[in-house]
Structure 1
Amino acid sequence: MRTTLDCIVCFMRQARSTGLLTTEDPLLQRQLLDGAGRYMEQVDTELSPPENATGLYALFAEILGEDDPFARVKQEGNAFALAILDEVEQRILAAEDPLRAAVRVAIGGNIIDYGALHSFDAARTIQECFDREFVWDDYPTFVEALQGRPKVLYLCDNCGEIVFDSLLIKQLNRSGCQVTAAVRDQPVINDATLADAQACGLDDICTVISNGTRCPGTPLDACSEDFREHFQAADLIISKGMGNFETLSEVSAPIFFLFTVKCSQVALHLTERQGFGPGFLKGDGGEMVLLRQKEKA
């Protein structure tokens, strides 16, 4: 997926929301906006939005003088999810199809995103996701792909969300899959790093590796050689979140995309890609997707 002019407008909104989330100093908030305005001149519309966002958020960190400006909201996200983890897990285990319920929860957890959304109700979303239908549902194909106990590479996205991912990974473990989870190499927005994964115990459930990049997505050319080897060796790749979809939507690989649509441009890209009718997707943060990657002709 390429960066559009609407993405550039969104980058400016992200500068404002970053200021509101990370500092009370109006001078720093103004500097974030000024810096973002200058950065827009170098945005490459041939790249995906997450690739262009990499340098933008590095600039924000420099202006704020903090390597991880979103550390507080990341900790809050994990704490929120851990506080309700047992309750949510019991609902999954009591479901008629625990695997499908765990998929719903993992996708519902994708709402915890400070890049795409400036406000959200994660608690309500997690409660409602058990009954919400998917706007695209490749679950039968997903179940079929798990039958051979494949080697799974699970591409993580945000803090808080990774706690709910752990419930799906537990289901995959029970089915005999060999799961490796991948997180970002360095802090960017509220995306999970190795330290964040360890803080919520994800490394107790499966092997966790870094993808070698600070991008809020998975641009393969920028990822580490070790990660690319895991990517090539995987029998099945579970890609969580919009950033991973935006960077991998044109990659030929055995990928299942699991995410909540929270952006009008992603909604448009998905609409065109899947042949939906105009206006089928709104991108309002409530549309759940389980999508198998298209095979190249």
Structure 2
Amino acid sequence: MISPTYLCVRCLIDQATHAVELAVEDPAVRLALMEEILGLLQRDFPGKIPAELGTLIHRTIRGKTGTDPYAALKEKSNRIASEVAIPLREKGLTLRSAVCAAIAGNAIDFGVDGSRNALETLDDELRQGLAVDHFDRFRQEVEQVRTILYLTDNCGEVVFDLLLVEQLLKMGKEVIVSPKAEPILNDATVVDLEGLGFSGLVPIVPHTVASIGLPLKEAPAEFRKVWDRADLVIAKGMGHYETLYGIRTGVVFLLKAKCLPVAESLGVGVGGHVLTF
């Protein structure tokens, strides 16, 4: 697990400010929310990891406003990612290229970039390769196992997750896809996966209500059964890395190291693509 550093304070406050601005327009309400969040950080920062602190912040915002601040951005992200993924699908993918595409999807802000910019960014991300490359072990593990649990991360990115899921299915694997049950940040929920091609292809079992990463103590019983019987878990994004690293064997993390604390923990530079156990 990743312990918070002073850099996490700035990141959490920036994240909170963005979410508050999306959620409400009234300056007085924005100020009141930020005051509450600053108090929360002052109280809880020493004893929690960044993902837990982010969860508290976003639950506070939603609890006070009753809105999903990222709803429009998530819809836009899925739409643009679906357009950008077409050339990859038409070209055909191997297991390795599908893994690299899934990690590259983690790197792109589809809610900000238009289709053309997102395609250029995807090309740039794919060219950089893997800073931590445990693909050979990953391939061996996949070949040996039967059941794979796939923990999704962001909207937009999930379109590229589907490309990897399809490759795993072609290899004869049983794949269970697990998004969030309820909104937090721009993470994909069960609803967000509708219309993307997952339904009818694989079982979808959500893993938490509204948490960054996966705090197992909050996971519903149905998910725990899947977690316990999965031979291999594919966990996307930094939130899952922060909350699950070292929890059990058979977990492979696919992510872009977007901040210095996470990058240093992995021994890579900021922005490095990682496939690690």
More displaced stretch, 222-231 vs 181-190: 222-231
Distance in 2 (CA, whole Å) between partners of 1:223 and 1:23 is 30
- Asked if the contact 1:184–1:210 (Cα under 8 Å) also holds between the matched residues in 2, the reply is yes
2:61 maps to: 60
2:202 maps to a residue whose letter is C
Q: Report the equivalent of 1:152.
A: 148
- Aligned residue runs from structure 1 range 20-169, under 5 A: 20-66=21-67, 68-91=68-91, 93=92, 98-112=94-108, 122-169=118-165
1:16/1:33 contact within 8 Å kept: yes
Q: What per-residue deviation string (whole Å, max 9, x for no partner) do you get for residues 125-168 of structure 1?
A: 32223322211000000111111352000010111111110000
Code of the aligned partner of 1:205: L
- Deviation per CA, 1:216-265, whole angstroms, max 9, x where unpaired? 10111221122122111111110100000000112122011000110111
Structure 2 counterpart of 1:33, one-letter code? M
> Contact conserved, 2:41 with 2:53, CA < 8 A, in 1?
no
**Structure 2 length as normaliser, TM-score?**
0.90
* Aligned counterparts of 1:199 and 1:57: Cα–Cα separation in 2: 26
Alpha-carbon distance, 1:30 to partner: 2.8
Q: Distance in 2 between matches of 1:31 and 1:235?
A: 46
Letter in 2 for 1:289: V
**1:197 is matched with which residue?**
193
Aligned equivalents of 1:269, 1:151: Cα separation in 2 = 29
Q: CA RMSD in A?
A: 2.1
- Check the 8 A contact 2:108/2:122 in 1, yes or no: no
Distance 2:109 2:47 in 1: 24
The superposition leaves residues 76-128 of structure 1 with CA deviations (integer Å, 9 ceiling, x where unpaired) of 1111111223222123x1x5xx11111111001112469xxx97764333222
Structure 1 unaligned regions, length at least 5: 272-280, 293-297
SS at match of 1:181: strand
2 CA distance for matches of 1:224 and 1:113? 30
| AA in 2 matched with 1:127 | D
**CA spacing shift, 1:23–1:126, aligned 2, 3 Å:** farther
The whole-number CA distance in structure 2 between the counterparts of 1:140 and 1:45 is: 38
CA distance in 2, matches of 1:144, 1:202: 25
Q: 1:216 to 1:127 in 2, by over 3 A?
A: same
Contact 1:109 1:164 (8 Å CA) reproduced = yes
Deviation at 1:60, TM superposition (A): 1.3
Distance 1:25 1:123, change over 3 A: farther
Report deviation, 1:186: 1.1
Cα pair 2:208 2:214 within 8 Å, conserved: no
Specify the SS of the correspondent of 1:210: coil
Q: Which residue of 2 aligns with 1:288?
A: 273
Give, in angstroms, the shift of residue 63 of structure 1.
Answer: 3.6
Give the 3-state SS of the residue equivalent to 1:242 in structure 2: helix
Equivalent position SS for 1:190? coil
How far off its partner does 1:23 sit? Answer: 4.6
How many residues end up aligned between the 2 structures?
Answer: 273
One-letter identity of the residue aligned with 2:214 = T
Identity of aligned residues (%): 31
**1:64 to partner: Cα distance:** 3.3
